[in-house]
Structure 1
Amino acid sequence: MAGPLSGTARRPAGGPAGGASARRPVRPALSAVLRTGGLLALLARRMLLLAVLLAAVFTAVELLPGDAATATAERGESAADLAQRRHLLGLDRPVLTRFTDWMTGLPTGDLGTSAHGESVAGLLSRPFPNTLLLGGLALLVTLVVSLALGCWAALRPGGKADRAISSTATGVLALPEFVVAVALVLVFALWADWLPAVTLTGADGSPASWRMLVLPVLALAIPQTGWNLRIVRAALADEAKAPHVETAVLDGLPRHRILTHHLLPGALPTIAAGLATSTGMLLGGAVVVETIFNYPGVGSVLAGAVTDRDSPVIAGVVALTGAVITGVLLLADLVRAWASGGRI
């Protein structure tokens, strides 16, 4: 990808000085976005989308064969015992009524009761922070590596490094998380014996050592790094065509200053949107990765809840995960609004 950074042109004599002419257009203050009420409207749309998703979860569990009463029944229970269990779990009520009752408790943090009589909030209080830790570290690795390699490629457009990075990113993003996880276990745990293949937990239910986080984090981050690396590179290439960037090149500004002061600010909304999309994919992929590495996250809880047809637990996981993704998407929307003149 050739672009302005690949040239060595200088502004002809008599042209504008390198100060004002090379400056990037100033963006409006974010407070203008907040004053318009657009933030509340955007948040309302996100919350409505989350509510629709939760309704779909309840409906999907209802369509599965069997129910929580039969799935958790002990051997030899009679039909009367099953009927009594269904009544205790509220399964004899319409699904819409059960969903409405569950949603009314959601604002207070009440996620309902599981099919085994446990509080869903208490059931998720330990594994969900572990999943957030795993996903957060993977997102951080994705951000740092994709930005570093994307900027490196953008400084030498069309060069060997640019071609190698782009080709590698294309191959990496096509790999599913479980394939990457198995390969990492094979190389670093079985062959090299550098890192543990399974996760052991401490007394507080979290991983006993930071070394046990390395392979799960890499298994999640590697595919998303390939995806975001291509986004960063494409965003920087598009921004390099902007007039203020071409002016900065003609003014003879150093490449690193053009990158940090002219390319990255303009590419930031696209990069933020890519990372926000990766948040959902990281949390979704964490379910598979946690199973492979025996990681103490919500993956095992969710798998058991699906087996038990436990709607409150499944919806609780979706609600917490959806709230995190909604927050990240909202942040990305604010970045886009700031960069586009306050329009959400």
Structure 2
Amino acid sequence: MAVELRVFAGLVARRLGLLIALLALVFTVVDLLPGNAARSALGRDATPDRIAAKEHELGLDRPVPVRFWDWFSGAVTGDFGTTARGQSVNALLESKFPQTLLLASIAMAITVAVSLLCGLWWAARPTSAVSRVLQPGSAFVSAIPEFVVATLLILVFSLWLEWLPAVTFTDRSGYPASPQMLILPVAALAIPQAAWNLRVVRGAIVDAASAPHVENAILNGLAERTVLLRHVLPFALPTIATSFATSVGTLFGGALVVETVFNYPGMGAMIAGSVSDRDATLVAAVVALTGTAIMCVLLAADAVRAWVNRGRQ
């Protein structure tokens, strides 16, 4: 047990190190972009003296490593600082991140349900008509980018059929005014991920079912459901959990694009504006928040893998 805890602690330390390195890279890349946050905040008519004063106020005249360390020291305590326009980064994240989390969470739930059901059906009945459709169809759909899926959904369900709205409007709470406005953004995110994950589920189930202990269970006359739940799924679970965990990061990244297409009130427009304004503080805060969420999910998948492997010994 002590050895396993040390291994897991080392994995956590490596993941944290990678996240910190990514945040430092974000600061460096934003600094290398043409223009800076001071010019974007003051506008085109600002004089050189005003720009220089604003750069000093924002600390842009200091080296990037120094600025990153100052920001990171505050971020560790939960203070992400202020934007170049004087807005609280924490307040912006509190107002936008829940909407993005809602969108990604619903898409993830649909992805898990659809991929598990279809993947299990595909593995159990490989020669059925549904399976023959899933083989080429899932490969094709999983290769389509989210923004292409979003465009096609708008074309069909908004413009041609006029069933669903193509643009998201918010109520006083800041969330979509109608549940119908969530359908197309969620579908645009979930469709490619469900197609990819059902292939992973099917492959993991087939590989696990070919193990010798599964053949022995079948020869001993155990029911098909018992064999699946006790002897197949536990051994396929690490691969499935890792695939789902990877999809969390993909969904967050895809959500930023899909939100822009549907005018969804999440972090998509905010991150696009922060890059346009060369605001490294806001960009890094978004990366830190989403990166931490993704890291936690990946660690959960690692814990599932460790638990299953321990059960094999």
- TM bucket, shorter chain: over 0.9
Q: Give the secondary structure class of the aligned counterpart of 1:36.
A: helix
Partner of 1:94: 63
Residue of structure 2 equivalent to 1:47: 16
What does residue 12 of structure 1 align with? Answer: none
Q: Does the 8 A contact of 1:151 with 1:259 survive in 2?
A: no
Q: Which residue of 1 aligns with 2:257?
A: 288
1:8 match: none
Post-superposition CA distance 1:39-92 (Å, at most 9, x none):
332222111111000001001001111111112222422111110010111101
The secondary structure found in structure 2 opposite 1:57 is helix
Alignment of 1:114-129 (within 5 A): 114-129=83-98
Residues of 2 paired with 1:253 and 1:191: CA distance? 52
Aligned twin of 2:171? 202
Which residue of the other structure, out of 77, 83, 87, is the alignment partner of 2:52? 83
Distance 2:5 2:83 in 1: 42
Q: Is the 1:174–1:223 contact (alpha carbons within 8 Å) kept by the matching residues of 2?
A: yes
Task: Provide the aligned C-alpha RMSD in A.
Answer: 1.6
* CA offsets 1:216-273 (integer angstroms, 9 cap, x no match): 0110010011110110011011001111111122223332332222211110000000
The structure richer in helix per residue is: 2
Contact conserved, 1:128 with 1:297, CA < 8 A, in 2? yes
CA distance in structure 2 between the partners assigned to 1:80 and 1:190 by the alignment:
51
The aligned residue for residue 297 of structure 1 is: 266
Would you say 1:258 and 2:216 are equivalent positions?
no
Measured after TM superposition, the shift of residue 161 of structure 1 is: 2.7
Number of residue pairs matched by the alignment: 312
1:318 lines up with 2:283 in the alignment: no
Superposed CA offset, 1:10-46 (max 9, x none): xxxxxxxxxxxxxxxxxxxxxx479733333222211
Return the match for 1:156 from 125, 131, 134: 125
Tell me the residue number matched to 1:191. Answer: 160
State whether residues 155 and 255 of structure 1, in contact with CA within 8 Å, keep that contact through their aligned partners in structure 2.
Answer: no
Measure, in 2, the Cα distance between the counterparts of 1:34 and 1:185.
53
Aligned to 1:228: 197
After TM superposition, the structure 1 stretch with the greater mean CA deviation from structure 2, 222-231 or 161-170, is: 161-170
Q: What is the alpha-carbon distance in structure 2 between the residues aligned to residue 212 and residue 34 of structure 1?
A: 49
Deviates more, 1:138-147 or 1:248-257: 248-257
Of 199, 216, 220, which aligns to 1:247?
Answer: 216
Listed as ranges, the matches of 1:96-175 within 5 Å are 96-175=65-144
1:208 maps to amino acid:
A
The match for 2:26 among 49, 57, 61 is 57
How far, CA to CA, are the matches of 1:171 and 1:67 in structure 2?
Answer: 41
Cα distance in 1 for residues equivalent to 2:102 and 2:281: 23
Shift of 1:132: 0.7
The answer to whether the 8 A contact 1:220-1:285 is kept is yes
Q: Distance in 1 between matches of 2:8 and 2:267?
A: 31
CA contact (8 A) 1:224 1:278 kept: yes
Contact 1:33 1:337 in 2 (8 A): no
Deviations 1:184-204 (A, max 9, x none): 111112222222111111111
Aligned twin of 2:275: 306
Q: Using the TM superposition, give the Cα deviation of residue 175 of structure 1 relative to its aligned residue in structure 2, in angstroms.
A: 0.8
Q: Deviations 1:289-336 (Å, cap 9, x if unpaired)?
A: 001111000000000000000000000000000011001001000001
Q: Secondary structure at the match of 2:46?
A: coil
Contact 2:144 2:192 in 1 (8 A): yes
Letter in 2 for 1:215: L
* CA distance in structure 2 between the aligned counterparts of 1:136 and 1:33, rounded to whole angstroms: 34
CA contact (8 A) 2:39 2:46 kept: no
| Structure 2 residues not aligned, in runs of 5+ | none
Report what 1:5 is aligned to: none
Distance, in Å, in 1 between the alignment partners of 2:72 and 2:225 is 51
